[in-house]
Amino acid sequence: MNAYADPVFDACLKEALALSAEWVPRWLAALGNALQQKEAAAVGASEQRSAAQARATLVSYQPRITEHFLTALSESMGSAASSEGDLDPVSGKAPARRLDTLSLDDLELMDHQQVQHTVELARIQQVVKMAVEEELVLLDARLSAARGLTVVSSKANPLNPEAIIGALIRALSKLHIDAEVRVQWLHIGALPLGQELRRFYRQLVDLLDRWGVQPAGYKVVQTPVGKPTDRGATRAREDSLPVDALTAKSELLTLDHLHQLLVGNVARGANDATDPAQALEANGMVRSLAMEVVTLMLRRITDDHRLLAPVRDMLLRLKPVLLALASSDPRFFADRSNPARRLLDVLTERALAFKSEHDTGFQAYVQQLRKIEQDLQVPAGQLPQRIGDVLARLVRTDPVTQAPARGLAMQTLVKVEQRNLLAERVASEIQARNDFARAPGVVRRFLTGPWAQVVAQARIRAQAVNSLSPGDAPALRYMDVLPDLLWSSQHELASLNRPRLVKVIPGLLRTLREGLESIDYPRAQADSFFQALMELQEPAYKPRRDDEEDMRGLDLSDTWVHPAEARDSGFMDDLEIESQPGFQDTEPMDPEWLRQRQTETTAKPRPLAVGTWVDLRDGGEDLRCQLTWASPHGTMFLFNAANGRSISLTLRGLERLREMGRLTVVADHGLVDDALNEVTRQAFLNSGRF
């Protein structure tokens, strides 16, 4: 078990493991009794044999179940911050995501057996959660406080029901037993497991109370009224259940029903039915399910305050159109290439470009939405063609992806990446020289930085222009000066041959200036290097500043961009990003904020995917931008704003902006995807209630 920074939290987990050694055997005994009762009450011989087999297997494997379960619990407690998910109760393999955050794509890839076992697990979790609801609230509050938090977070509790059930499934997956037996144990053992966990949680609450741990408080989140200005309002409750609109009573939508709708089983059943009445009933079932999915999806989208109110209102008015489509094409929302689904994606994605109704271009976008709404007021039979026409017009007029400067910026950044990758190889060639390591630091820094860029640029030009003979090629001349430069910068060697020094300096300086001018290297930084080089070459050399100071004076970004390239691509220089403001009056740092910041910085943020919307602060300007392109090697990134402005960043600059809080993610995937995943989650929760 890992050692935690807070000794109280660590001690609580150790005590929890000791208590688990008591309640796990009790739970297994209760499970055995329940199986015996089921066997006695069985109606048919088959049911009786099944219960008897499950009970006999339990008796045989009970010691190993106890051992594996306690080991899995220990591992779960020792990796409280782990993202490891539950395992499938049959295969024992980890799914792509936690089952209570199942996505629509995950569900579509499942087979019928996997869906059934997922439904079964949903019911188990529901039974256990209902049994421990009150005690879990109390334990969450105390464990959050034990971890130094003032606000309750369920993530601070590594003993939550999902973690316990996940540990149980991992333990059972190590046993070579029949899958049906394992499912029976989980199903029949759910109620006694919930009872044991309720007692277990109460013991831990009492223990923490005796230790003087005061419970953390719950954050009060007000429902936004009127026009929301905080884009994070919908994310304020990380641990909450789906939005209220999705928790309304749902008569039809379960995980099994949603899966059948996705894979077309319901529709095939309707087509294959020989009885007209059965076919009519099946067709009605298809339409009802599809309309329920569309209704829930729209509620989720229109509750998302990342979209401005006029956009949400307009999308809500599209409900009759989408319901008509769901009636004729029940799977349109799951098919990303379907024009209606693409239209929803484009509308919601483009709406993310605006932070305020006062943003430039927003009123024009609202007018465009109204025109779309009018265009779609046609009979249901004409909707597919009309939607296709509207979608084509939208794509042609996208101000972000169709910005005139975007093509030039992409071409420019490809060249920048090509040159910088080649410069890295050139720098490696230079560093491999035998005389490189003995040179002063300022020279080494220059050669592996600006001069590597010079040579790389010359080699690229040489490939494009084949008329130059090898002897005249600048790339060769720029490498040929290395022996003289490295030798002349070492005053111990240069002072032994003053005639050679006098002879090589003019040509050396001329070649260096020519090379730096070829990449438009800043004159001030070039002069700083030449001044330092002249000091090194003085026969009566006396160091007036050390190498480290010289190297700081020549600091430059890893990626060199010509001024013209910077203009064409809207490049934000890494050095400008890393510059820090002067000292200001400060206040004592909040310890809770410091702990949270340290936790956030230990995990590297996920790389941004093309299509991600971000808020980017450039000086005094706040921009809503979309990542529209990433270079082939992932070193350059191009962002575009709704006003047509382009901004490019290196990978280092992008990571630095995120660390400084000047670049925050608004949406890293489509809002329609989010909504459909919430629908799937609701279906999962519904499955646990049936």
31 and 137 in a common domain: yes
Q: How many CB atoms lie within 10 A of CB 522?
A: 12
Give percent of the chain with pLDDT exceeding 90.
Answer: 21
Report whether pLDDT(558) > 70.
no
Contact assessment for residue 648 and residue 572, using Cβ atoms and an 8 Å cutoff: yes
The answer to whether residue 240 is domain-embedded is no
The answer to whether residue 220 is domain-embedded is no
Contact assessment for residue 125 and residue 133, using Cβ atoms and an 8 Å cutoff: no
470 and 389 in a common domain: no
State how far the alpha carbon of 303 is from the alpha carbons of 132, 418, 638, in Å.
30, 45, 30
The answer to whether residue 489 is domain-embedded is yes
468 and 343 in a common domain: no
The answer to whether residue 217 is domain-embedded is no
The confidence score (pLDDT) of residue 632 equals 81
* Amino acid code (one letter) for 488: S
Q: H-helix or E-strand containing 29?
A: helix 7-41
The answer to whether residue 291 is domain-embedded is yes
**What mean pLDDT do residues 381-400 have?**
84
- Domain harbouring 641, CATH code: 2.30.30
Cα separation, 671 vs 673, whole angstroms: 5
The answer to whether residue 230 is domain-embedded is no
614 and 489 in a common domain: no
Of residues 647 and 220, more confidence is placed in: 647
Domain range enclosing 562: 404-566
Per-residue pLDDT tens for 149-186?
Answer: 888 888 888 899 988 988 898 898 889 888 888 888 98
426 and 374 in a common domain: no
325 and 436 in a common domain: no
The confidence score (pLDDT) of residue 96 equals 36
In sequence order, what are the beta bridge partners of 636? 650
141 and 36 in a common domain: yes
* Amino acid code (one letter) for 683: A
366 and 294 in a common domain: yes
Give percent of the chain with pLDDT exceeding 70.
Answer: 76
348 and 274 in a common domain: yes
614 and 485 in a common domain: no
The confidence score (pLDDT) of residue 23 equals 96
472 and 357 in a common domain: no
Cα separation, 611 vs 626, whole angstroms: 6
The answer to whether residue 236 is domain-embedded is no
118 alpha carbon, distance to own chain's centre: 25
Tally of domains within the chain = 4
Question: What's the whole-number average pLDDT of the chain?
Answer: 78
Cα separation, 300 vs 292, whole angstroms: 12
Per-residue pLDDT tens for 391-445?
Answer: 998 888 776 555 555 677 788 888 888 888 888 899 999 998 888 888 888 889 8
Per-residue pLDDT tens for 81-123?
Answer: 343 334 443 344 433 345 556 788 888 888 877 787 777 777 7
Contact assessment for residue 647 and residue 641, using Cβ atoms and an 8 Å cutoff: yes
The answer to whether residue 228 is domain-embedded is no
In sequence order, what are the beta bridge partners of 647? 639
Contact assessment for residue 420 and residue 560, using Cβ atoms and an 8 Å cutoff: yes
425 and 392 in a common domain: no
Cα separation, 684 vs 101, whole angstroms: 9
Closest residue by Cα to residue 325 from 378, 281, 392: 378
